[in-house]
Chain A
């Protein structure tokens, strides 16, 4: 299992897959912020004054994170951002399901509120979180190794 998770091809698939999901989801919501605002409102956790701000700010954030993840720029910070966002999505969905609310996840734009769809979104977010955590730990490890190499002068020797 550990060897499988450390495989660079697996990381590439995770990076491109998660990046594509964030890009797609961001673009869909950017095109239609009003249905997305309606979806956010069904969760009943944000004060009304924050609903539209979230509907306007979240899609560009998802696009930025998705794009940066796909191109591989600032991998650690981007993977961290995706871990945070996915955790927030999971908490929002989890509390809604626990409260018995019929929510529309709004993950890919507005839709019909449904408990079954919310469970589906929860499973999808768990998968995304798993991929994002693997990517974050890998990027953090690489960062640490680079710093250590710089510190010991190994890079100078390599050059």
Chain B
């Protein structure tokens, strides 16, 4: 490790580590500075996506809604590919896509509206007329794949917002495309 070898702990700790510390400090300063110029700067204190989502949903729930009706009355029902396919082709209700909007634009289930978990409040406001007029219709929520938590979060939020029949297609976009079913782009 010493002498003529290419590695020395002394050089590493005395020279390379401080250089890395300096570079890290510069990068952190740059990151904090750039953040000030964002449309929506990231707050310094982290809030989990569940907490952020809860806050967004709470802002959407009408103030006059009694507390007991805000709590979901029944569990979201999961549906498989066949039932979801029939739901879509038979136009039995609204189909909602919980993935980020960019993915929705690249391809989605025919007729699906974008209602992403990561921008729920704004997306809900954009789709308000289509959504609020159909609260008695069944709605089916789809996400990216079976691991996607956003689908369930959106489905449960819709229940809190007064939708009576909320379905969740667990397989999501991955299962839909794997089955070679029709796609739509916007």
How many chain A residues touch the partner (CB < 8 A)? 38
A33 near B19 (CB under 8 angstroms)?
no
Point out the residue from B23, B32, B45, B148 that lies within 8 Å of A49, measured CB to CB. B45
Query: A51, B19: Cβ atoms under 8 Å?
Result: no
A30 and B34 contacting across the interface, CB-CB below 8 Å = yes
Is the CB–CB distance between B118 and A114 below 8 Å? no
Which residues 125-146 of B have a CB within 8 angstroms of A?
144-145
Main SS class of interface, A: helix
In the complex, residue of chain A having the shortest beta-carbon distance to the beta carbon of B30: A60
Cα distance A113–B143 when bound, in Å?
A: 14
Which of B's residues lie within 8 Å of A, judged by CB? 4, 6-8, 11-12, 15-17, 19-20, 23-24, 26-28, 30-32, 34-35, 42-46, 48-49, 118, 144-145, 147-149
A-B contact pairs, 30 of them (CB 8 A): A30-B31, A33-B35, A38-B48, A48-B46, A49-B44, A49-B45, A49-B46, A52-B43, A55-B42, A55-B46, A56-B28, A56-B35, A57-B24, A57-B28, A58-B27, A59-B31, A60-B31, A61-B28, A63-B27, A77-B16, A80-B16, A80-B19, A81-B20, A114-B147, A137-B6, A137-B7, A140-B6, A140-B7, A144-B4, A144-B8
